[in-house]
Amino acid sequence: MTTATHEETLGFQTEVKQLLHLMIHSLYSNREIFLRELISNAADACDKLRYEALDNDALYGSDSDLRIEIEHDTKAGTVTVRDNGIGMSRDEVIRNLGTIAKSGTAEFLKQLSGEQQKDAKLIGQFGVGFYSGFIVADEVTVRTRRADAEEGVEWRSKGEGEFTIADIDKAERGTEIILHLKKDAKEFADDFRLRNLVRKYSDHIEVPVRMPKTETAKDDEGNEVEGSEVTTWETVNEAQALWVRPKSEVSDDEYKAFYKHIAHDFSDPLTWSHNKVEGKLEYTSLLYVPGRAPFDLYERDGSRGVRLYVQRVFIMDDAEQFLPLYLRFVKGVVDTKDLSLNVSRELLQKDPQVDKMKSALTKRALDMLKKLAKDKEGYQAFWNAFGSVLKEGPAEDYANRDKIADLLRFSTTYTDTTVQDQSLADYVSRMKEGQQKIYYIIADSFNAAKHSPHLEIFRKKGVEVLLLHDRIDEWLMSHLTEYDGKSLADVAKGNLDLGDIEGEEEKQAQEVTAKAKEDLVKRVKEALGDEVQEVRVTHRLTDSPACVVLSEHDMGFQMRRIMEAAGQPVPEVKPILELNPEHALVTRLETAEDDRFGDLARILLDQAIIAEGGHLNDPAAYVKRLNALLTA
């Protein structure tokens, strides 16, 4: 029983009425955050006692077992958070609880020096976490006694501009906070609810968080024995973060179990990377690569980012500030003490430290993937799940473009399978003598790419071509223009240049052929008019009569179709028609009468567009011309 003396009512030292209203209704987006804040403050109080006891061991008295206790009373509608930490004096209560953003923790940190400050595990920085209790309570009572004081203090307030403070008798050191819950917050006076919140937000606080557990004896028949109830204290949190343990002490099974906990995934991760960084910037990271893609991987509002902890206190679930968007599949935790949080701990302030950590964690994640790539089967599983996302990297992260390029995988004419398992390094190792470029083709499907007429000369010469058929591939290649000192070239754009693969005799023969077909080229251009940008003789075809290509810097056919399907305006681009002078249809075209010449030229153009995977503006006209040709 406590008795109060020297009671007085004081006004808050700031415009508390407005501040509390703003904080209670706007500062915190989730009401359950209150328990995290109160547990954090209690952990701070225990750490403060531990530090002060280094110089004065008598502060512990007969109770050196630091702990946090949480109780609830469903009938009374209260939740109590208690600690046996350093406690507060009357002046400290008035100073710290009477002023918004007056942080005892911040002052305490200033008093620490050297190794003490480096090792401090103090969480609160602003002194407003305590007031989060008013989110769920219409009245808060605080009973506290400083470890080196004989008398305790009671503080009471309804958060309406004033508080009452009184001296009380309190046998134990530490602080007890009693929340008188609002009618719409009675859900928190529930054992199951409170235990879940402790595990969710404060599972890795180093101080044990305990809750009472009542057990009843049973007779031989399994019936409860009346009056045999025994209440014991049960530790609810793990009390040690897995990521702060040395890697040598954590088993693979523990790593996998922890991943499933944070990722809400039932399958094992493909790999993980556990690292502690020391120096000017100190943090610990534990990053995972999942074994399968989540359903919301491509949703703009999907979950992404790692879990952020500050001094083992959970701050946010999707801290996307620490990894770029193309690594959004990476799961894990980052625990630091060097970040500027805003007063609600829910959002990160603008902080150059965040940028430094993002850069370091990005490299760490890419190195983790590079290591995984040595396991061909494991990396193929990763690529099948997340390859399309990783392809966003070169556009988003120029600084790491080369590292990302090493991790990309493609289908190629070397394997001629839909499996994307060939790297750019694999391609370069197989380049022919005299080959100076990495060639690729982009199409809407694997089969369209594989059977494109643009590949005919490459197959004849034995030159490998990357077969790109993902929707993002054209976007990727617009930002990945070279690799290992070799430029990447789209075989469906511009003039074909095989470099030294073609001998001088071949090039001279092509020039002779082009000159001989000048009249034919001119007639076809006149017949097609504005439907084409240009007509020319090609040497890229061996079996097909014609193909269409684009100028070097024109938007590709695939990107145009994607934008058109999305209702986006696209610039008008006219294709270049290239004719195979050796093909029988082109020979026939050359000898066709004027009245049939135009129809045959248009049929060749339409066929080339279809072979490329495009769509005709007037399919019926194409069918009519083709039927007329077949029945002639």
Q: Tell me the three state secondary structure of residue 7.
A: strand
Give tens-digit pLDDT for 187-199: 999 999 999 999 8
Same domain, 376 and 252: yes
Counting the structural domains of the chain, the total is 4
Q: pLDDT band for position 109 (50/70/90)?
A: low
Q: What pLDDT was estimated at residue 104?
A: 64
Same domain, 278 and 186: no
Q: How far apart are the C-alpha atoms of 161 and 17, rounded to whole Å?
A: 5
Question: Domain boundary residue among 207, 235, 263?
Answer: 235
Residue 268 has pLDDT above 50, yes or no: yes
Q: What pLDDT was estimated at residue 380?
A: 96
Same domain, 589 and 612: yes
Residue 21 has pLDDT above 90, yes or no: no
Q: What pLDDT was estimated at residue 145?
A: 97
Q: pLDDT band for position 412 (50/70/90)?
A: very high
Q: How far apart are the C-alpha atoms of 207 and 251, rounded to whole Å?
A: 23
Q: What pLDDT was estimated at residue 3?
A: 56
Same domain, 287 and 213: no
Q: pLDDT band for position 240 (50/70/90)?
A: confident
Q: What pLDDT was estimated at residue 552?
A: 80
Q: What percent of the chain has pLDDT over 90?
A: 49
* Per-residue H/E/C for 351-419: CHHHHHHHHHHHHHHHHHHHHHCCCHHHHHHHHHHHHHHHCCHHHHCHHHHHHHHHHCCEEECCCCCCC
Same domain, 572 and 475: no
Q: What pLDDT was estimated at residue 484?
A: 94
Residue 1 has pLDDT above 50, yes or no: no
Q: What CATH number does residue 369 fall under? A: 3.30.230.80
- For the chain, the average pLDDT equals 86
Looking at 26-30, 354-358, 435-439, 618-622, which range is the least confident one? Answer: 26-30
> What would the two tokens of residue 47 be?
């750490």
> What would the two tokens of residue 333 be?
């935790």
Looking at 88-102, 314-328, 552-566, which range is the least confident one? Answer: 552-566
Domain range for 492 is 409-501
Same domain, 97 and 199: yes
Q: pLDDT band for position 97 (50/70/90)?
A: confident
pTM: 0.76
Q: What CATH number does residue 519 fall under? A: 1.20.120.790
Residue 94 has pLDDT above 70, yes or no: yes
Residue 598 has pLDDT above 70, yes or no: yes
Helix (H) or strand (E) holding 34: helix 33-52
Instruction: Give the residue with greater pLDDT, 207 vs 215.
Output: 207
Residue 25 has pLDDT above 70, yes or no: no
Same domain, 315 and 419: no
Q: How far apart are the C-alpha atoms of 112 and 198, rounded to whole Å?
A: 29
Residues 478-495 as b/e (b if ≥16 CB within 10 A, e otherwise) read ebbeebeeeebbbbbbee
Vertex 389: Cα angle to 326 and 476 (nearest 5):
90
Same domain, 429 and 535: no
What is the average pLDDT across 557-577?
78
Instruction: Give the residue with greater pLDDT, 112 vs 64.
Output: 64
Give tens-digit pLDDT for 483-510: 999 999 999 888 887 877 777 788 888 8
Instruction: Give the residue with greater pLDDT, 319 vs 445.
Output: 445
Residue 265 has pLDDT above 50, yes or no: yes
Sign (positive or negative) of CA dihedral 234, 237, 238, 240: negative
Helix (H) or strand (E) holding 461: helix 456-461
Same domain, 421 and 442: yes
Give tens-digit pLDDT for 333-354: 999 887 766 655 555 667 788 8
Find which of 52-56, 67-71, 220-224 is predicted with most confidence, using mean pLDDT.
67-71
Same domain, 295 and 377: yes
What is the average pLDDT across 450-466?
93
Q: What pLDDT was estimated at residue 67?
A: 96
Same domain, 125 and 146: yes
Residue 20 has pLDDT above 70, yes or no: no
Same domain, 70 and 160: yes
Q: How far apart are the C-alpha atoms of 260 and 279, rounded to whole Å?
A: 31
Give tens-digit pLDDT for 275-305: 999 888 889 999 999 998 887 777 756 677 8
Q: What pLDDT was estimated at residue 274?
A: 97
Maximum CA extent, the chain: 116
For tokens 């074909």, name the residue.
496
Q: What CATH number does residue 17 fall under? A: 3.30.565.10
Q: What pLDDT was estimated at residue 425?
A: 97
What is the average pLDDT across 345-373?
86
Question: Domain boundary residue among 182, 208, 235?
Answer: 235
Q: How far apart are the C-alpha atoms of 532 and 526, rounded to whole Å?
A: 10
Q: What CATH number does residue 483 fall under? A: 3.40.50.11260
Q: What pLDDT was estimated at residue 114?
A: 60
